[in-house]
């Protein structure tokens, strides 16, 4: 579930330096926006992440997958990843 507590903007802000060394990098943001977030503010957070990626010049390096992920999907994406980043702002979110 995508929401402000996930800290995704931190990873996006770090991406320009990574892209300088590894221009082929792809950062996947996988997940639907949390239903409570959608109910209160719509897709403002997700849209702000997309805007930030454009402002920083890394939008071509980010794939936003706005979908629920099954356990099978998660295994597939994690198995394909070279690096898995959880920039969560709250330690309790890390699982």
Q: Do the Cβ atoms of 75 and 66 come closer than 8 Å?
A: no
Helix (H, G, I), strand (E, B) or coil at 66: coil
Which residue bears the tokens 């957070």?
45
The rounded distance, in Å, linking the Cα atoms of 93 and 83 is: 19
Average pLDDT, the chain: 91
The model's pLDDT over 56-93, given as tens digits with 9 standing for 90+, comes to: 999 999 999 999 999 999 999 999 999 988 888 877 76
Dihedral sign for Cα atoms in the order 72, 33, 84, 25: positive
Residue-level pLDDT at 56 = 98
Residue-level pLDDT at 95 = 62
Q: pTM of this prediction?
A: 0.87
Residue-level pLDDT at 94 = 65
Measuring CA to CA, which residue among 58, 66, 63 is closest to residue 42?
66
């Amino acid at each position: 579930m995508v929401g402000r507590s996930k800290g995704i903007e931190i990873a996006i802000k770090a991406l320009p330096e990574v892209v300088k060394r590894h221009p082929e990098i792809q950062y996947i943001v996988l997940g639907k926006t949390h239903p409570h977030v959608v109910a209160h503010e719509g897709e403002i957070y997700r849209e702000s992440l997309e805007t930030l990626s454009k402002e920083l010049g890394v939008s071509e390096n980010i794939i936003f997958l706005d979908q629920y992920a099954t356990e099978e999907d998660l295994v597939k994406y994690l198995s394909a990843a070279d690096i898995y980043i959880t920039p969560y702002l709250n330690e309790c979110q890390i699982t």
